[in-house]
């Protein structure tokens, strides 16, 4: 189920981000991502519209939109990849924000 995230869930969203981004970017050292936690928490998540995918009271994915047009983050828990969660989150925000922009790393590999 997709729903708007609550501020009280930001720590859980940040944990999901760290797990997913470390798993999804094996070409970047994990320590780099841990050093990015304050930036992600304070500059991105705190200032974005965030929606989560929740199943059985567990967050399995999230998407963040900044300034109504920039896709700042979209992550799915590694244990939940290939289940259509990312696609559903993307479709959900595209319905609300039809002119989105995003940036990705060139080296991202599909798993």
Taking 70 as the pLDDT cut, the residues of the chain under it are 104-111
Tallying the residues shown for the chain, one arrives at 111
Domain of residue 35 covers 2-96
In contact, 42 and 14? CB cutoff 8 Å: no
Cβ proximity of 53 and 60 under 8 Å:
yes
Residue 60 domain-assigned (yes or no): yes
Q: Is residue 34 part of a domain?
A: yes
* 26 inside domain: yes
Q: Are 86 and 76 in contact (CB under 8 A)?
A: yes
Q: pLDDT tens, 44-56?
A: 999 999 999 999 9
106 in a structural domain: no
Q: What is the pLDDT of residue 109?
A: 57
25 domain residue, yes or no: yes
CA distance 85 to 62: 9
CATH of the domain at 25: 3.40.630.30
Q: What was the pLDDT predicted at 28? A: 92
Give 103's Cβ-side CA count (13 Å radius): 3
Give me the number of domains the chain comprises.
1
Residue 101 placed within a domain = no
Position 105 in a domain? no
pTM: 0.87
Rounded distance between C-alpha atoms, residue 10 and residue 5, angstroms? 8
């Amino acid at each position: 189920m997709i729903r708007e995230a609550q501020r009280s869930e930001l720590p859980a969203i940040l944990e999901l981000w760290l797990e997913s981004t470390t798993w999804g970017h094996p070409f970047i050292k994990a320590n780099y991502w841990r050093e990015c936690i304050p930036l992600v928490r304070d500059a991105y998540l705190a200032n974005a519209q965030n929606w989560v995918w929740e199943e059985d009271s567990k967050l399995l994915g999230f998407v963040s939109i900044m300034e109504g047009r920039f896709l700042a983050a979209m992550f799915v828990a590694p244990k939940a990849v290939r289940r259509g969660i990312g696609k559903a989150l993307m479709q959900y925000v595209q319905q609300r924000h039809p002119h989105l922009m995003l940036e990705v790393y060139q080296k991202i590999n599909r798993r």
